[in-house]
Amino acid sequence: MKRVGVFVCHCGTNIAAAVDVGEVVDKARLERGVVFSAEYPYMCSEAGQTMIANAVKEHNLTGVVVSACSPRMHEVTFRKAAAKIGLNPYMLEMANIREQCSWIHKDKDDATKKAVSLTSAAVAKVHLNTPLFAGESPVTKRALVIGGGIAGISVALDVADAGYDVDIVESTPGIGGRMAQLDKTFPTLDCSACILTPKMVDAATHDNITLHTYSEVESVEGFVGDFTVTIRKKARSVDMKKCTGCGACYDKCPAKKAPSEFEEGLSNRKAIYIPFAQAVPNVPVIDREQCIKFKTGKCGLCETVCAPGAIDFEQQDELVTQKYGAVIVATGFRPIELGKFGEYAPESKDVLTSLEFERITNAAGPTKGALVRLSDGRKPKSITFIQCVGSRDTTPRGKAYCSKICCMYTAKHAMLVKDKYPDIDVNVYYIDVRSPGKNFDEFYRRAAEEYGVNYIKGQVGKVVDMGDHLVLQAADMLDNRQITARTDMIVLATAIEPLKSTKPIASMLTASIDTNGFMTEAHPKLKPVESPTAGVFLAGACHGPKDIPETVAQAGAAAAKVLGLLSKSKLTTNPCVAAADELACNGCSACESVCPYGAIGYEDRQINDHGVRGNQRLAAVNTALCQGCGACAVTCPSGAMDLLGFSNRQILAEVDALCR
């Protein structure tokens, strides 16, 4: 019989105001095996922990129950305190009498009764607790970054600079991501490419960084410290070792009808191409769906002009398998499809998304920086920006969240237009202007006050393309009037969403995504760069809409967490793992078939069943792989498989106590 001590916390008045703590203490003393019970205003404080420590020594306690807040809050605190005084940490259980009792039940009698019941269940469980010991698992000193945008590049550089190997997997032919498409950045209006391209080159030339461009993550196995990832390097049809980046191939390529992804489809690219002039790596790729050689077997002009003989039409996808200690997801965002937003006439050539507008204003873009209407090449006399297209939209077609970056880039766009062409009339329709970053509000006010950008609070209900101009209908909510206005170009601040590939990547990593498809963080405040899956970290817009400074800051934070992990020589594993009773197991394999981690194998072993010896096929749990879900324990018909820390008997004992 265990000697159990029960410690009931007041949590100031958080518990004590709704629960008669004294009653809980008194009732606990009547429970089987309870030799000591006490209360304290803040059990988690130094003094409270000392009280527990002293009681364990004085009363020779072998089991401890703390009735306080949620175990998700302080179980670790108390288990550490138990370990400090030589009690196995798993001989301690918590009863949650705050979140699941005092905070929600108004009636003091009811709350007290429930607190007593929850405490008795914890006592019943602790009687069946056994000391558990954490195992160790290795740490592979290498990190994988999924996504080669500014987030991925930043993480990779930070981790690589600290001396660890980093691989970047990028699905497109080159790194740089969305930031490479931008013209200027807010709120400083410095050139995006000027600050990004040096980083891209740093990443490509860093001794510790390996780039896998035009590559995708194929599969992920393993767990924190020991992931095994298979990367599919898609056939580039160009030998990266031989290619010198001279560009003769794409100069000569006759297939020129593919819409350029980098230019948002506003101009075409060749079938063999580099995404943009400063692409890293500067090695072209053949788009096999566009290539005449692949389509008809004829052509092969690129091969003919390639002096080093780098063109390889026979190249196959290559699978690379590598071990990693940590994985950083930095898959980024894309603008939503506007098919369901017909009222804005998104099919009109003079109605652009903001990202398309970035390309129009960019000197290297499809118009060479000339601000013209794409329909007729005329310079617009009036440009209208419409905010929140699909953002803060609770209808099924839209996104309920704020896309966060649109207010500022619209101010930027408006200012850039006014700067170059003060004669162009610039109007912005907005719901609210949100500018809470450093120097952001000043930036927006400059646009509105110094540059003369006309901000109209109201939503646009209809856009019609009249051929040589556009007409829009809107409501001005401050003046409370309907507006019908003529304009020459419309720019839609299109909501952003995570890439479609985020979901399969999250599944492979067993990390979770939220209802909007963004990666979920482990804790919204305290663990903002960790995913709930150990060893998987988040950077950038895959986690939620973010601007560049925020993305870089998160990337730095993720890198710090990765470094903390990679610098460890070993990790301690969860001791609450499955274990099979060899005398009950008949080796039926049911448990093996449900294990999500492949942690169960079988071995033929001699067993000694009370003197009867015999060989038996038995389940064997790999405790380094087992994550302790318990699927096996329930599948096992004979009850041979059980879960340490949450055993059948422990849970039944809790049921019995709670239903008393």
Partner 1 sequence: MQITGEQTFTPLITAFCCNWCSYAGADLAGTSRLAYPAEVRIIKVPCSCRINPLFVLRAFQKGADGVIICGCHPGDCHYIMGNYYARRRMTLLFSLLDFMGIERGRTHLEWVSAAEGAKFAATMSGFAENIHKLGKNRRLEDLRCKSS
Partner 2 sequence: MQEQLRILAGKMLADGRAARVLGWKRTDFETAPEPSFFTAQDDLSELVYNKYCAANLSGFMIGAGKRDGVTVVFLKPCDTYSFNQLVKEHQIDRAKAYVVGVSCGGNAKVEEMEDVGWLERCLVCTKHDHVVYDELVLDESLSRPEAQDRFGGVTRLEGLQSLERYEFWQGELSTCIRCNACRNVCPACNCKKCVFDSAKYDTAAKANVTTFEEQLFHIIRAYHVAGRCTDCGECARVCPQDIKLQLLNRKIIKDINELYGEFQAGQDTETLGPLTAFNADTDAEPSIVHTRG
For residues 523 and 531, what is the distance between their CA atoms, to the nearest angstrom? 8
Contact 11, 69 (CB under 8 A): yes
* Nearer of residues 80 and 617 to partner 2, judged by Cβ: 617
Q: Does 275 bind partner 1 (CB under 8 A)?
A: no
Build a one-symbol-per-residue string for 516-545: x at contacts with partner 1 by CB under 8 A, - elsewhere: ----------------xx------------
Instruction: Give the interface segment with partner 1, choosing from 131-139, 185-193, 328-336, 629-637 (CB under 8 A).
Output: 629-637
Q: Does 656 bind partner 1 (CB under 8 A)?
A: yes
Distance of CA 115 to the CA centre of its chain: 37
Q: Which does 281 bind (CB under 5 to 8 A by kind): partner 1, partner 2, none?
A: none
Q: Which residues make Cβ contacts (< 8 Å) with residue 196, sequence separation at least 6?
A: 150, 176, 179, 180
Q: Which residues 453-512 are close enough to bind partner 1 by CB under 8 A? A: 507, 510, 512
* Nearer of residues 99 and 476 to partner 1, judged by Cβ: 99
Selected from 254, 504, 549, 596, the binder of partner 1 by CB under 8 A is: 596
SS3 of 89, please?
A: helix
For the chain, how are helix, strand and coil distributed in percent, rounded to 5? 30, 25, 45
Q: Does 70 bind partner 1 (CB under 8 A)?
A: yes
For residues 143 and 159, what is the distance between their CA atoms, to the nearest angstrom? 8
Smallest distance, partner 1 to C-beta of residue 42, A: 18
- Diameter over CA atoms, the chain: 99
Q: Which residues make Cβ contacts (< 8 Å) with residue 594, sequence separation at least 6?
A: 631, 632, 635
Across 186-310, the runs of DSSP E, i.e. the strands, are 190-191, 209-212, 215-223, 226-233, 258-259, 268-269, 272-273, 285-286
For residues 309 and 303, what is the distance between their CA atoms, to the nearest angstrom? 7
- Residue 640 CB neighbours (<10 A): 21
Q: Which residues make Cβ contacts (< 8 Å) with residue 501, sequence separation at least 6?
A: 171, 216, 331
Q: Does 655 bind partner 1 (CB under 8 A)?
A: yes
Q: 496 forms bridges with which residues in the sheet?
A: 335
Q: Angle formed by the axes of helices 46-59 and 71-84, to 10°?
A: 50
For residues 80 and 134, what is the distance between their CA atoms, to the nearest angstrom? 13
What are the distances in angstroms from CA 217 to CA 129, 226, 287, 501, 506? Answer: 42, 16, 20, 10, 11
* Nearer of residues 140 and 533 to partner 1, judged by Cβ: 533
Q: Does 610 bind partner 1 (CB under 8 A)?
A: no
Instruction: Give the interface segment with partner 1, choosing from 103-111, 135-143, 292-300, 312-320 (CB under 8 A).
Output: 103-111
Instruction: Give the interface segment with partner 1, choosing from 161-169, 201-209, 489-497, 631-639 (CB under 8 A).
Output: 631-639
Instruction: Give the interface segment with partner 1, choosing from 45-53, 413-421, 489-497, 649-657 (CB under 8 A).
Output: 649-657
Smallest distance, partner 1 to C-beta of residue 219, A: 13
Q: Which does 123 bind (CB under 5 to 8 A by kind): partner 1, partner 2, none?
A: none
For residues 299 and 293, what is the distance between their CA atoms, to the nearest angstrom? 5
- Please provide the distance, in angstroms rounded to a whole number, between the alpha carbons at the two ends of the chain: 21
Q: Does 23 bind partner 1 (CB under 8 A)?
A: no
Query: Residue 630 corresponds to which tokens in the numbers above?
Result: 């318990």
Q: Which residue has the tokens 């607190």?
A: 115
Smallest distance, partner 2 to C-beta of residue 590, A: 6
Instruction: Give the interface segment with partner 1, choosing from 105-113, 182-190, 445-453, 555-563 (CB under 8 A).
Output: 105-113
For residues 346 and 337, what is the distance between their CA atoms, to the nearest angstrom? 10
Query: How many chain residues touch partner 1 (CB under 8 A)?
Result: 49
Contact 6, 25 (CB under 8 A): yes
Smallest distance, partner 1 to C-beta of residue 82, A: 18
Q: Does 652 bind partner 1 (CB under 8 A)?
A: yes
* Nearer of residues 566 and 578 to partner 2, judged by Cβ: 578
Contact 474, 459 (CB under 8 A): yes
Selected from 55, 82, 118, 155, the binder of partner 1 by CB under 8 A is: 118
Smallest distance, partner 2 to C-beta of residue 613, A: 12
Smallest distance, partner 2 to C-beta of residue 532, A: 19
Q: Which does 321 bind (CB under 5 to 8 A by kind): partner 1, partner 2, none?
A: none
* Nearer of residues 241 and 610 to partner 2, judged by Cβ: 610
For residues 434 and 441, what is the distance between their CA atoms, to the nearest angstrom? 8
- Residue 35 CB neighbours (<10 A): 17
Q: Which does 532 bind (CB under 5 to 8 A by kind): partner 2, partner 1, none?
A: partner 1
Q: Whose CA is closest to 300, among 277, 258, 271?
A: 271
For residues 431 and 427, what is the distance between their CA atoms, to the nearest angstrom? 13
Smallest distance, partner 1 to C-beta of residue 400, A: 13
Question: Letter for the amino acid at 304?
Answer: T
* Nearer of residues 358 and 654 to partner 2, judged by Cβ: 654
Build a one-symbol-per-residue string for 73-102: x at contacts with partner 1 by CB under 8 A, - elsewhere: x----------------------x-xxxx-
Q: Which does 228 bind (CB under 5 to 8 A by kind): partner 2, partner 1, none?
A: none
- Positive or negative, the Cα torsion across 139, 140, 141, 144? negative
Smallest distance, partner 2 to C-beta of residue 134, A: 26
Catalog residues that contact partner 2 under the rule CB under 8 A. Answer: 583-590, 593-594, 602, 614, 617, 635, 637-640, 648-649, 652
Q: Which does 614 bind (CB under 5 to 8 A by kind): partner 1, partner 2, none?
A: partner 2
Contact 248, 305 (CB under 8 A): yes
Smallest distance, partner 2 to C-beta of residue 636, A: 9
Selected from 2, 79, 105, 232, the binder of partner 1 by CB under 8 A is: 105
* Nearer of residues 516 and 638 to partner 2, judged by Cβ: 638
Q: Which does 85 bind (CB under 5 to 8 A by kind): partner 2, partner 1, none?
A: none
Q: Which does 117 bind (CB under 5 to 8 A by kind): partner 2, partner 1, none?
A: partner 1
Smallest distance, partner 1 to C-beta of residue 288, A: 33
Q: Write out the residues near partner 1 by the rule CB under 8 A.
A: 70-73, 96, 98-101, 103-107, 110-111, 113-114, 117-118, 121, 507, 510, 512, 514, 532-533, 576, 594, 596, 627-631, 633-635, 643, 646, 648, 651-652, 654-656, 658-660
